[in-house]
Amino acid sequence: MENLQASSSLKQILGLELSPIAIRLVKKDENPKDLPLESNRRLRYCQLLMEAKKGHGATLTSENIACPAAAAALGLLPLPEKISSGEMLQTLGLFESKEAAARTMAQMPRLELRAFKAVAAAPLEDAKFTPDVVIIEDKPEKIMWINLASIHEAGGRLFFNSAVFQACCVDVTVVPYLTKNVNVSLGCYGCRDATDIADDECLVGIPFEKIREIVTSLEALSKKAMPEARQKRVYNQFIKAQAMHGTVSK
């Protein structure tokens, strides 16, 4: 499925306000064409996504990525000892002790160090490259339908992977890339401090090889389940019945 078609379908069916984000992880021995230009500013990875959803694609390398935790997660640079030891996370107030923070960082999924040399992000509809992952940031109701679409055909249950830290770089980029499964993130301290993600928004990362399946399933869901749930017919009947009996909740 072409990027433009996938983006148009996702926007139309889900009612997305901003663009899905195409992510390409560039291996050290690759020289892909049609990547966005390298950013002329130092950016955090979550800020790269923020720019891309608004239409501004860019590429980050070890030279211009501003967040050391994200740089390590994406295999661009080693993880600084101050972070791996748990010192920084405890100082931020995220964990009760250095030991708890260090245990969390030790279990953080990461790409192999130096196996990748760059990461590119662009609005999906504008991306000239084949993405590895597609990221969507929006309200939970829309993210819910994407997750249902991922099991619509085969069924089963979903298991999400998160430490509520490194939401953008690990939860919705590295995890979907490595597992080839959809993963949801509630966000984290970093992206909520450094970007414009709203309090009532979360994120989902989708392996690009699953985009066709998910769009097809969303199209099926949009014929019945989605519009009926959004109409809140059962809830409205409940409120009407309460009103008739004088028991409307306030």
pLDDT digits (tens, 9 = 90+) for 102-156: 999 999 999 999 999 999 999 999 999 999 999 999 999 999 999 999 999 999 9
Q: Where are the alpha helices (DSSP H) in the chain?
A: 3-14, 45-53, 68-73, 81-84, 87-91, 98-106, 140-151, 175-179, 189-194, 211-221, 225-231, 233-244
Mean pLDDT of the chain: 96
Per residue in 89-104, pLDDT (tens digit) is: 999 999 999 999 999 9
Residue 29 lies in a domain: yes
pLDDT at 249 (0 to 100): 59
The number of distinct structural domains making up the chain is 1
Residue 249 lies in a domain: no
Residue 250 lies in a domain: no
Residue 122 lies in a domain: yes
Residue 187 lies in a domain: yes
Q: Determine the structural domain holding residue 71 and report its residue range.
A: 3-244
Amino acid identity of 66?
A: A
